[in-house]
Structure 1
Amino acid sequence: MVAGLVLSVTGYTIYQSAEGYLIERFLKQQEQGVKTIASFIDGDFHSDISLLKDENLKDNQLFNRYQQALDNYIAVDKDYHFVYTLFINEQNRSLRYALLPSSVSNNPKAKLAKNIFTGKELMPDDFFFDHVFNLIDQAKTTSNDHSSSSILHVDGSGTISFGLIVNRNKQPTGIVVIEVSNRQIDRMKQDLFRSMLVTIGLLFISLLLASIIFAHKITRPFEKLTDAIERLINNELDFQLSLSDFGGFSYTAKQFNLMLLKLKVSRNELIGTNKAFSRFVPHKVLKLISPNGIQTTKLGECIEKEMTILFCDIRGFTQLSESMKPKESFAFINRYLNVMVPVINKHGGTVDKYMGDGIMALFPNSPDNALNAAVGMNHALSKYNQKLQTKGLPIVKIGLGLHTGRMMLGTVGTSSRMDVTVISDTVNAAARIEALTKTFQSSILISEELRIKLNQFNKRELRFIATCFVQGKAQPMTIYEVFSNDTISLRNEKLENQQGMIDAWHHYKNGDTDRAITIYQKLMEKSPLDKAQLALIEVVQNGRL
């Protein structure tokens, strides 16, 4: 806007100067024109024109040649120019028409168009007359043969140019007059104004284009830098600024690229550190406590939630580890955990603790997920054992105990060292149930509470084992075996034995131990691979439950 104002003021100033120069040059051109015509006309002949008759004028070759010269001069622009000569009478201070263009009678726009003919006296015009006779007086005092001048008429009608016609004695015998209408001056001004407008317009457009190009060169690097900063805010680091896009600001681009490189290195180091620490932090459990992220987790923060607890333990690990060196023991456990833990994660669980060869996992969503994980762990272990057998290594046997209930999940420790833990008798009960897998020679045992809340799991693959007291529980818990991993024939036998086991347990609880043992023995004879029958006989005989 400021540039446009400055350009407008400058353009107006230039126009005023150009207009003055244009008029001055035009007057000089007109003055040169009358001087040329005056030098062309014979002064002696011009003084004798008034003596010629009209019919003689028409036949006079010299008169016709002069008249033709006037015609040629005004032919350029006859609408605005009028050229003629005057006789001079200095004594009477009068002027009379002499040579006139042949087209004067047909030129209605000419100032002297009406009833003009040679010899007619001009009407007095002080401004006009004063300039004519002043020019004559001036010529007498100078050596110039053909004095001339050009002026703007005082009435604003146009310009008038005078050129003296002199005879062989250097005496003025007439004067050439060129009158130019003010419309011609206006037309020249308009042409000049249009030219100035076009020039200023082109200059403005050029300046505008130049400013746009210049601004683009200035702003483009900052636009590129702004885009780069937005990408940086969005955690994008895998890019670089092109130095060619920054021109004179290439140093800024270099420094920005260097910063990106350092940030990228720092980010990779931080990611590596986080990955290393994440292996020691139960993120899924922490997310339950602090949904907004681990950064907001506070000491003592806790929630109460119903979840399923899974305990898993290797049977006879003590004996297995006795034949191993410490390093081999750790390698053995880690290989085993690499088989078990992915199954837990697959079914929506998360490992809360590793306890030597034992695993404690939480399932916050569904008891079905927990039980499917337990069955999947047994299935994965079966495949793992096949690999161990091909290498001549001892196979691994595990026991899994599961229980569902409400529990408190929270952080304990100090402000400098915190841990996540679960506080509930549900945890203790699940651990006791897992311990009973050794007692009842079962791979998977679950509580009655978990069985009731199953929605999708096939309950035909569950069977009643016993009702017994577990440490930490005032009331006895009913325990069920999950035999989904057994062969089809053994699964069918266990289903057929279900009612007999229930009857035997009732006899035992009613004090008829012998009857209970008899039933268990018959079931064992019928299904020798059903090891739970022998285990129950030992339990009943010893009265351990």
Structure 2
Amino acid sequence: MKVFAFRSIHTQFMTATTLLIVGLVGSIVWVWANTESNLYRQQQQSQAKSLVKLSAYALGNELSEENWGQIRVDLDLLMRENQDFLYILVSDARKKNQILASSPSDFQNQYIPDIVPVEVTNAALKSRHSHAVETFVLRDIKFLGHVRAKRGERFIEVSSDIKLVSGETIGTLRIGMSSQQINRAVVYAINQAVLVGFVGLAVSLVCAYILAKRLSDPVQRLQVSAARIAAGDLQHRAEINLSDEIGDLAKSFNEMSAALQASFSKLHKTLESFERFVPDKFLAVIAPEGIENIQVGVSATRTMTILFCDIRNYSSMAEQMTPFETFSFLNDFLECMGWPIEKSGGFIDKYIGDAIMALFDDEATDCALRAAILMQGTLSLFNEERIEKGLPAIAVGIGIHRGEVVMGTVGFNSRIDSTVVGDVVNLASRVEGLTKQYDCQILVTESVVNSLYHPESFSLRLVDKSVKVKGKEEAIAIYEPSYKHLKV
């Protein structure tokens, strides 16, 4: 039976594994990108602090001599050489931190530049060491006609005291450095992390697919095997040679299949044996829902032909034989009589000592007459073998009658038997008894003759047109049939 794709083990495993891998790879990429970003920022700030510190040291003599022209030239040169510099400010602590040199020159003679928040300026002027802070631009910054930063752009300002050789602080150097290089490095790091993540995800998904297939394929093969066994192929075995739990499951499955096959084989043999006791045509009536549902009192009405066969003088024969010889003789005799009945389409209802009761449910009685004639023919061959062994020949009488009977089960819960009930059965038995009186091998009633499809195939001799049998008020006609062209 097909199921939704999402319910398959393979799909569930792949879905769970994919979500796990995506979450894991996503976490790794995020941590990697965040770490790289912080690392780049720390490196740039460290480098910027070193640069500002060296520059402040170099400006110490110029500032002490108030060589403002040279300082401005040096600042412009630094701005040209470093595209990431947004501005450079030099304030003089001796003149209330007035900016006396800057690049761009817009900020000269200001005390608090209008490009950064006031708190950034205060922090830079109060610091006595190299100081770095991330902030944003309050307005556009241009240098030599080119925009170095736009309003609102994030950047880093690094500041350092300008000291004399004696250690006296005489000013402050402030450099604004663009974060674009950091951003580019961070984007590159993120791209690298994402690329590695995608590669890792692809490799992981391939591995997960292989693993899921390795896990689901045996299960699917077990499912196919179970379906084949359910369809009746009990000889099928799951060919899964693994050393894990699935292999153990397949081994247990095959052991179960072998046990089912053995049980089914035993059950099949039991059914075959049961059918020897109860013919198929009986089972169709008494057990329409299966023999496991047989109940007492199940019955059906049928119009059938009843054949009785009995050994003449059996009692005197049995007295001269041991029980074992009698048992062996009966089996040989019943086998001899059984196959003509089966070959002609009839079935044996029961054995009554040495007597045989057979039924024919054809619409015509031709098969029953043919069976009776064949039985007498096979009996002749049977007697020839007995005479060769020095044993006496035997004779049988066969009586046949046709009419309506009831087929069904009788008994009680612990002992049930199948049987045919009706006056037709008794009459067929009485007709068989008349074979001794009229010295005939086969006698049939008028109802049998009237039901023949091909009466011309038989030579029918009227034995008695009006004979009364025991237990019957109405007289019946009886005939003796023969079939000269029938070969055994």
Task: Return the TM-score normalized by structure 2.
Answer: 0.68
Matched with 1:88 is 91
**TM-superposed deviation, 1:479:** 2.7
Q: 1:222 to 1:118 in 2, by over 3 A?
A: closer
State the percentage of identical aligned residues: 27
Aligned-partner residue type, residue 89 of structure 1: D
Distance 2:230 2:27 in 1: 53
Distance 2:44 2:362 in 1: 108
Matches within 5 A, 1:54-203: 67=77, 73-74=82-83, 81-90=84-93, 91=95, 93-95=97-99, 116=104, 124-125=113-114, 127=116, 131=120, 134-135=123-124, 137-139=126-128, 147-153=130-136, 156-164=152-160, 169=165, 175=173, 177-180=175-178
**TM-superposed deviation, 1:287:** 3.5
Q: 1:449 to 1:12 in 2, by over 3 A?
A: closer
Matched with 1:330 is 327
Q: 1:399 to 1:37 in 2, by over 3 A?
A: same
Q: Is the 8 A contact 2:17 2:208 kept in 1?
A: no
Matches within 5 A, 1:288-367: 288-315=285-312, 317=314, 321=318, 324-366=321-363, 367=365
Matched with 1:481 is 480
Q: Is the 8 A contact 1:158 1:185 kept in 2?
A: no
Query: Number of aligned pairs?
Result: 449
**Secondary structure of the equivalent of 2:370?**
helix
Distance 1:118 1:415 in 2: 118
Q: 1:319 to 1:72 in 2, by over 3 A?
A: farther
- Of 59, 62, 77 in structure 2, the residue corresponding to residue 43 of structure 1 is 59
Distance 2:449 2:430 in 1: 17
Matched, 1:28 2:32: no
Which has more radius of gyration?
Answer: 1
Distance 1:6 1:327 in 2: 81
**Secondary structure of the equivalent of 1:124?**
coil
Q: Is the 8 A contact 2:308 2:400 kept in 1?
A: yes
Q: 1:470 to 1:190 in 2, by over 3 A?
A: farther
Matched with 2:397 is 399
Aligned-partner residue type, residue 422 of structure 1: V
Task: Return the TM-score normalized by structure 1.
Answer: 0.62
Greater RCO structure (CA 8 Å; 6+ sep):
2
**Secondary structure of the equivalent of 1:342?**
helix
Distance 1:245 1:416 in 2: 50
Q: 1:37 to 1:483 in 2, by over 3 A?
A: same
Q: 1:486 to 1:39 in 2, by over 3 A?
A: closer
Q: Is the 8 A contact 1:132 1:162 kept in 2?
A: no
Aligned-partner residue type, residue 94 of structure 1: Q
**Secondary structure of the equivalent of 2:127?**
helix
Consecutive unaligned residues of structure 2, counting only runs of 5 or more, are 1-14, 139-151
- Of 400, 417, 420 in structure 1, the residue corresponding to residue 418 of structure 2 is 420
Q: Is the 8 A contact 2:467 2:478 kept in 1?
A: no
**Secondary structure of the equivalent of 2:289?**
coil
Q: 1:176 to 1:233 in 2, by over 3 A?
A: same
**Secondary structure of the equivalent of 1:292?**
coil
Q: Is the 8 A contact 2:107 2:113 kept in 1?
A: no
**TM-superposed deviation, 1:9:** 9.9
**Secondary structure of the equivalent of 2:175?**
strand
Compare 7-16 and 458-467 and name the one that shifted more: 7-16
Distance 2:98 2:380 in 1: 142
Distance 2:252 2:286 in 1: 43
**TM-superposed deviation, 1:307:** 0.6
Q: Is the 8 A contact 1:246 1:253 kept in 2?
A: no
**TM-superposed deviation, 1:362:** 1.1
Matches within 5 A, 1:252-271: none
Matched with 2:468 is 470
Compare 357-366 and 425-434 and name the one that shifted more: 425-434
Q: Is the 8 A contact 2:310 2:396 kept in 1?
A: yes
Distance 2:29 2:322 in 1: 105
RMSD (Å) for aligned C-alpha atoms: 5.2
Q: 1:136 to 1:39 in 2, by over 3 A?
A: same
Matched with 1:536 is none
Cα displacement string for residues 113-152 of structure 1 (whole angstroms, at most 9, x for unaligned residues): xxx569966683284676457545533xx6xxxx242322
Distance 2:438 2:109 in 1: 153
**TM-superposed deviation, 1:465:** 1.9
**TM-superposed deviation, 1:337:** 1.6
Q: Which structure: greater strand fraction?
A: 2
Distance 1:463 1:394 in 2: 30
Matched with 1:430 is 428
**TM-superposed deviation, 1:483:** 1.7
Aligned-partner residue type, residue 342 of structure 1: W
Distance 1:341 1:26 in 2: 104
Compare 150-159 and 257-266 and name the one that shifted more: 257-266
Q: 1:96 to 1:380 in 2, by over 3 A?
A: farther
